[in-house]
Amino acid sequence: MLVVALAVVLLVLCLLSIGVGALTIPPAEVVRALAGHGGGARVENVVWSVRVPRTALGLAAGAALGLSGALMQALTRNPLADPGILGISAGASFAVVVSVAVFQPGSLYGSIWFAFAGALVASVVVYVLGGLGRSGQTPVKLALAGVAVTALLTSLTSAVVLTDPDALDRYRFWSAGSLADRDGSVVLQVLPFIAAGAVLAFAVAPALNSLALGDDVAASLGRRLGLVRLAGVAAVTLLTGAAVVAIGPVVFVGLVVPHVARVLAQRAGIGPDHRWLLPLSAVLAPCLVIAADVAGRVVARPAEIQAGVLVAFIGGPFFIALVRRRRLAEV
């Protein structure tokens, strides 16, 4: 029932996303236009050419970011894990900018493979740095390593775009994390990668429950830890790389959503079962992304505030509160 209720909320947000903007379209007209029963040529053009692709992109990219965040927190047993905080989004962004500046790909597919490579390399570097030292890997150390790698990659990205006008033109709006000015082809191009990442994520969901009990317990239950982690990293790389190419490096979605999903699952009596947490995250994350996108159109009308900016306003204080809570718990 919880997933159904969230799906209804998501449907309402999708209708709002299609109806709200510079041209406000009443819900009844939105439904008629979607059903192909008129509404006027102008309304149908706005709905099908602009709003529907934008909403579909929010659905796909939001689900990818929510799933990748839930996966990362489960694989690392780190409640602070998030593709944006741990440098994975920054790695994908840097690789995309380098591909634009050096190779100048003519299509999205030319950049998406670079995004996957950048996401994978950044995740490995952060994981290694977070494990250095006598105390080993801890959630706070991993988060600090992610912040350091993100700062380095952001600086390198800025250096590249400032020396290449073409890369700067493509990067400046995309980097804020926006669903605007995208067409339907972008959704179709990233959807296979997101679908593949989602299949891998749901496939390892039962093993994540065992992994939460510790490596020794998981191994004694017959889980092949190396295979589980390999599939998880592959899923995170596919999901994060595709989302970054599609809408830019939107941070904090993968951090906030899994925590909200756990709270809702607890109240619904489901418990910390990843077979439910992953679908909940996949539905909640698009709700957050689309709600931020709609709010950005309303707050600064007739201009717009990018969805990534509004999500950061929510995620920043949330991240600080999580860190403070963990530090107090460790004292």
> What is the radius of gyration, based on Cα positions, of the chain?
20
CA gap 241, 246 in Å, rounded: 9
Give the model's pLDDT for residue 80: 78
Structure tokens that stand for 326 in this block? 């963990």
62-330, what's its fold?
Answer: ABC transporter involved in vitamin B12 uptake, BtuC (1.10.3470)
Q: What are phi and psi of 212, to 5 degrees?
A: -65, -20
For the entire predicted model, the pTM comes to 0.87
Q: Show the low-confidence residues of the chain (pLDDT under 50).
A: 328-331
CA gap 18, 309 in Å, rounded: 20
Question: Per residue, what are the HEC states of 241-287?
Answer: HHHHHHHCCCCCHHHHHHHHHHHHHHHCCCCCCHHHHHHHHHHHHHH
Reported as a single tens digit per residue, the pLDDT across 141-194 is: 777 888 899 899 989 988 888 887 766 776 776 777 888 877 778 888 889 999
CA gap 276, 259 in Å, rounded: 13
Burial class (CB in 10 A: 0-12, 13-18, 19+), 113: middle
CA gap 152, 134 in Å, rounded: 24
Give the model's pLDDT for residue 135: 65
CA gap 284, 286 in Å, rounded: 6
Q: What is the largest CA-CA distance in the chain?
A: 68
CA gap 183, 121 in Å, rounded: 29
CA gap 288, 293 in Å, rounded: 9
Give the model's pLDDT for residue 198: 96
Q: What are phi and psi of 168, to 5 degrees?
A: -65, -45
